[in-house]
Amino acid sequence: MLGSTEAVTVEMVRMALDATSLRHQAIANNIANINTKGYAPARVDFEQQMSAVRQALDAGQPVTHEMLSGIQPVLQRDQVVSDEDRTSSLDTESANLAQNTVQYEALLKALGKHFAILGSAISEGKR
Amino acid sequence: MDYRNAFAISASGMDVEKTRLDVTAVNLANIHSTRGPDGTVFRPLHVTSVEASGSFSNQFEQLAGAQLHGAQVASVEASDVAPHKVYDPGNPDADEKGFVTLPGVNQVTEMVNMATALRAYEANVVALNAAKTMALKALELGGSQ
C-alpha cells in the first residue's frame, strides 16, 4: 500500500492545493481590481493539464509519476473586460471565491483522511 | 498556501476602495464650498486606479513565484466639471450680479461612487476572510480526524 500509489496521491493533492491557493490569489487580485479600468482578469489553468491522469483512471490504469511531471498551475490573463461588462464581474468573482474555498477545504479533508488511513495502518487498526 | 500574498492583495484592494470613499467624502463635504484656500472654486476629485505592477521588493518576490500584487491608486485628479451659479445676493462671495459660484459636484454621481466603493471594499474583506479560513484549515491538517 505504501508503494507508488501513496506518493502519487499525496503529490496530486499537493499540486491541487497549490493550484487552489494560486487561484485564490488570482480571484483576490480580480476583486482588488474590480474598479480598475482596462484590467485583464487573472485565471489559473490546472484541471485541463490533468486530462492524461483522468484518462488513465477512466481506463482503469494506475497514475504514474511520469504523468504528473511538468504539470503545474499556470497563471493566465483573460481579455480586457469592457466597462459595460464590469458590473457583473463582482458577483462572478465572489461565486468563484466561495467555490474555490470549499474546494481547498475538501482537498485538505481528503488529505487528512488519507493520512488517517495511514495512521490506522501504522497502529495495526487499533485506536 | 501563500497566505501573505493573498492578504496583501486584498489589503491593497481595500486601500484603493477606501481612497475612493475618502475622495467621495471630500467631494460631498465641499458641495457648498464657494471658494477654496487659494480663492478658486473647488473642483470635484476623481480617483484612478491601476493594477499594481510591484516595487523592487515585489519584483524580488516575483522571482520566488508571487506574480500578483493587487491594485493601487494611480492618481487623484480634479475633474473638469463646470461649476454652476446660484442666485444668492446675501452671500459675501456673490459677484456684482448676486450670483455665487458653487462646485460642480453631482450628488447622485457621488452617492453611486460611494455605494460602488463600499461593495467593492466588502468583497475584498470577504476574500481576505476566505484566505484566513483556508490558512487556518490547512493548519488543522494532521490533527485528529
Q: What is the ipTM of this complex?
A: 0.81
User: Between residues 78 and 137 of chain B, which touch chain A (CB distance below 8 Å)?
Assistant: 116-117, 119-120, 123-124, 126-128, 130-131, 133-134, 137
Q: State which residues of chain B have pLDDT below 70.
A: 1, 54-66, 144-145
pLDDT tens digits for range B28-56: 999 988 888 888 888 999 999 888 886 65
C-alpha angle A75/A34/B136, rounded to 5°? 65
A24 with B130: Cβ contact below 8 A: yes
Residue-number span of the structural domain to which A38 is assigned: 4-122
Environment class of residue A82 by beta-carbon count within 10 Å: exposed (0-12), middle (13-18) or buried (19+)? Answer: exposed
B13 with A33: Cβ contact below 8 A: yes
Q: Which three cell numbers stand for residue A76?
A: 493566465
Q: How far is B102 from chain A (nearest CA, A)?
A: 29
A13, A31, A92, best to mutate vs chain B, most B CBs in 10 Å: A31
Q: In this structure, is residue A95 part of a structural domain?
A: yes
DSSP B15-80: HHHHHHHHHHHHHHHTTT-S--TTSSPP--EEEEEEE----HHHHHHHHTT-----EEEEEEEE--
B48 with A27: Cβ contact below 8 A: no
Please name the member of A26, A34, A94 whose beta carbon is closest to the beta carbon of B68: A26
Counting the structural domains of chain A, the total is: 1
B49 with A101: Cβ contact below 8 A: no
Angle between helices A4-32 and B107-139 (to 10 degrees): 160
Confidence of residue A98 (pLDDT cuts 50, 70, 90): very high
Which pLDDT does position B47 carry in this prediction? 92
CA neighbours closer than 13 Å in the CB half-sphere of residue A3? 5
Q: In this structure, is residue A48 part of a structural domain?
A: yes
3-state secondary structure of A71: coil
Q: In this structure, is residue A16 part of a structural domain?
A: yes
Answer whether residue A1 shows pLDDT above 50.
no
Handedness of CA B73, B74, B75, B80 (dihedral sign): negative
Provide CB contacts within 8 A for B93, sequence distance 6+.
B34, B35, B100, B101
A94 with B13: Cβ contact below 8 A: no
A39 touches B77 (CB < 8 A): no
Q: What is the distance between the alpha carbons of residues B92 and B101, in angstroms, rounded to a whole number?
A: 12
A18 touches B131 (CB < 8 A): no
- Chain B residues with CB under 8 Å of A34 CB are 13, 120, 123
Q: Where are the alpha helices (DSSP H) in chain A?
A: 4-32, 51-58, 65-68, 86-122
pLDDT tens digits for range A22-45: 999 999 999 999 888 888 888 899
Which pLDDT does position A64 carry in this prediction? 81
Nearest residue of A to residue B128 by CA position?
Answer: A28
Q: How far is B49 from chain A (nearest CA, A)?
A: 5
Q: Which three cell numbers stand for residue B79?
A: 475633474
Q: What is the distance between the alpha carbons of residues A90 and B18, in angstroms, rounded to a whole number?
A: 17
Mean pLDDT of chain A: 85
Q: In this structure, is residue A127 part of a structural domain?
A: no
Mean pLDDT of chain B: 86
